[in-house]
């Protein structure tokens, strides 16, 4: 079983199992939570060095997934508590085709996040070693592109105890693949990486029964959070993180700091007691306007929201080079905040709002004003 990793924070350097985070690497994420933290981490690990599939990924395994004895660390066949059912030697028995009839014949390159979920042989996802692992080809074929999940009565079980069968995970009851307990946290943290590395870069991804684009569906997110908590970071993951960093020049934040997952997605620790009473009064002289973040090749640095009590036509478009100033009639919001409050409004009054994304700041600000500008009308209560 894995040992609990103790975290030491010293001047933004973590030293645990000989892993050293470059000084200042995570500084832009300091103090953030939720979507703001996920966006900051995405920016830190984005634009990694892309390997080619052949021979790049095969070559990467020599440093990322080799055991001290030179054998392949295959999480679909390994037996951490005993003798593995079979062992592959690194570089021997690599598989390029699907022509196998049983386990133990050769090992392949397994997309733990199936490539069909992001559209096939598309870089940089297709060769991202953080979710590419060596795996017995026969087990790889059995797993196919099924979601990970917890199996009730398996229809097939691998020689190391991985299972295929109907899910008993709340929220999803299709066919799933369940790795052994000792590696569930490894796959969970790899999925957290995928959610963050490709955050807002997934508009063309087909998705799956487990994810919408790069973001896990609620049932899958909750399960992966549980897997990560039950199977803590191992020395194997720490070492692998360092080796992938040496090749791709980006890191998995959820191996370096597992608590980032809770800071972004919550801890699923249960429901708190409900409040005792309702408020004594209920009125709306403040209005909260909300939106979903824009996507595309250039995402905004922020948004300017303007309001009028007369009508939409009375809201002027902002001018490039002139930054909006927070006031009763306009508010700035950074990317990922996805909402602003307008307070102190008149009762029983209709208000009209327009939203303008922008890049840059100060005199370099550049607003998007062409096309259909988002607008909404809301009213305060008497």
Find the range with the poorest average confidence among 15-19, 189-193, 347-351.
Answer: 15-19
Average of pLDDT values for 275-298? 76
Considering only CA atoms, which of 265, 255, 164 is closest in space to residue 217? 265
Q: Report in angstroms the alpha-carbon separations of 170 from 112, 114, 219.
A: 21, 22, 7
| pLDDT score, position 4 | 33
The SS3 call for residue 116 is helix
Please name which of 274, 273, 277, 241 lies closest in space to residue 257, comparing C-alpha atoms: 241
CATH class of 287-379: mainly beta
Tally Cβ neighbours within 10 Å of residue 176. Answer: 25
Query: What is the distance between the alpha carbons of residues 342 and 297, in angstroms, rounded to a whole number?
Result: 30
Compute CA distances 353 → 107, 134, 172, 365, 366, whole Å. 58, 53, 40, 20, 20
Residue 3: pLDDT over 60: no
- pTM for the model: 0.67
Contacts of 4 (CB under 8 A, 6+ apart): 232
Measuring CA to CA, which residue among 38, 187, 49 is closest to residue 111? Answer: 187
Question: For residues 259 and 278, which has the higher predicted lDDT (pLDDT)?
Answer: 259
Report pLDDT for 283: 57
Residue 361 pLDDT level (bands cut at 50, 70, 90): confident
Residue 103 has pLDDT above 50, yes or no: yes
Nearest to 360 by CA among 328, 327, 330, 318: 318
Domain boundaries, the chain: 22-265, 287-379
Question: What is d(CA 214, CA 258) in angstroms, rounded to the nearest whole number?
Answer: 19
Pairing relation of β-strands 215-216 and 287-290?
unpaired
Cβ distance 129 to 111 under 8 Å? no
């Amino acid at each position: 079983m894995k040992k609990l990793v103790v975290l030491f924070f010293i001047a933004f350097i973590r030293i645990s199992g000989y892993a050293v985070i470059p000084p200042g690497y995570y500084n832009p994420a300091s103090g953030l939570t939720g979507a703001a933290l996920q966006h900051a981490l995405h920016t830190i690990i984005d634009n990694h060095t892309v390997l080619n599939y052949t021979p790049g990924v095969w070559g990467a395994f020599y440093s990322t997934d080799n055991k001290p004895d030179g054998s392949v660390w295959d999480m679909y066949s390994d037996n951490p508590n005993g003798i593995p059912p079979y062992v592959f030697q690194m570089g021997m028995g690599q598989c390029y085709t699907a022509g196998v009839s049983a386990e133990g014949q050769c090992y392949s390159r397994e997309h733990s996040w199936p490539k069909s979920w992001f559209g096939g042989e598309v870089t940089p996802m297709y060769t991202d070693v953080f979710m590419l692992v060596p795996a017995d080809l026969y087990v790889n074929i059995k797993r196919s592109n099924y979601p990970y999940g917890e199996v009730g009565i398996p229809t097939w079980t691998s020689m190391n105890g991985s299972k295929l069968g109907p899910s008993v995970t709340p929220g999803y009851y299709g066919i799933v693949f369940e790795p052994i307990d000792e590696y569930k946290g490894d796959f969970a943290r790899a999925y957290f990486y995928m959610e963050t590395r490709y955050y807002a870069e997934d508009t063309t991804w087909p998705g799956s029964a487990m994810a919408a684009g790069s973001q896990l569906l609620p049932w899958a997110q909750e399960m992966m959070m549980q897997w990560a908590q039950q199977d803590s970071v191992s020395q194997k993951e720490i070492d692998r993180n360092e080796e992938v960093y040496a090749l791709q020049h980006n890191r998995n934040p959820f191996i370096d700091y597992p608590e980032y997952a809770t800071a972004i997605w919550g801890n699923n620790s249960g429901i708190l007691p409900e409040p005792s009473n309702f408020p004594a009064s209920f009125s709306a002289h403040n209005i909260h306007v909300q939106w979903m973040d824009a996507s595309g090749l250039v995402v905004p640095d922020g948004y300017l929201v303007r309001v009028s009590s007369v009508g939409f036509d009375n809201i002027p478009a902002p001018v490039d080079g002139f930054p909006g100033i927070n006031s009763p009639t306009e508010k700035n919001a950074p990317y990922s905040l996805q909402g602003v409050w307008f307070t102190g409004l008149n009762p029983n009054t209709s208000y009209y709002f327009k939203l303008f994304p922008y890049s840059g700041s100060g005199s370099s600000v550049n607003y998007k004003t062409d096309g259909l500008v988002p607008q909404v009308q809301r009213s305060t209560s008497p």
